[in-house]
Amino acid sequence: MEKNEINSELSFEQALVKLEEIVEQLSTGSGSLEELVRQYEIGIKYLNQCRSKLEEAETRINILSKEIPNATNREDNNGF
């Protein structure tokens, strides 16, 4: 894997840690302009990966939420 590529198999939490590390590196401002831009580019990739995983989780939650019976159905079944 090249230095500017990311591991797409990382969990959300692992990708978030990588993103936080990059943000920390960028906030120090140490390094050449080229290296900082490269780190920024990698950070954007991790950010997009995190967003994608969040969207997947949101979709799954929405699907599962539709399977929950609404309150009127529970009342019709004596609360069960």
The answer to whether residue 72 sits within a structural domain is no
Print pLDDT tens along the chain (80 aa). 555 567 878 999 999 999 999 999 999 988 999 999 999 999 999 999 999 999 999 999 999 998 888 745 555 555 55
Pairwise CA distance, residues 46 & 30, whole Å: 21
The answer to whether residue 2 sits within a structural domain is no
The answer to whether residue 59 sits within a structural domain is yes
The answer to whether residue 45 sits within a structural domain is yes
The answer to whether residue 50 sits within a structural domain is yes
Pairwise CA distance, residues 69 & 16, whole Å: 34
pLDDT for the residue 8: 79
Pairwise CA distance, residues 30 & 76, whole Å: 65
The answer to whether residue 55 sits within a structural domain is yes
Query: pTM for this structure?
Result: 0.73
Count: domains in the chain: 1
Pairwise CA distance, residues 47 & 49, whole Å: 5
Pairwise CA distance, residues 29 & 45, whole Å: 20
Q: Which domain holds residue 47?
A: 12-67
**Distance set, CA 65 to CA 21, 22, 35, 54 (Å):** 35, 35, 45, 16
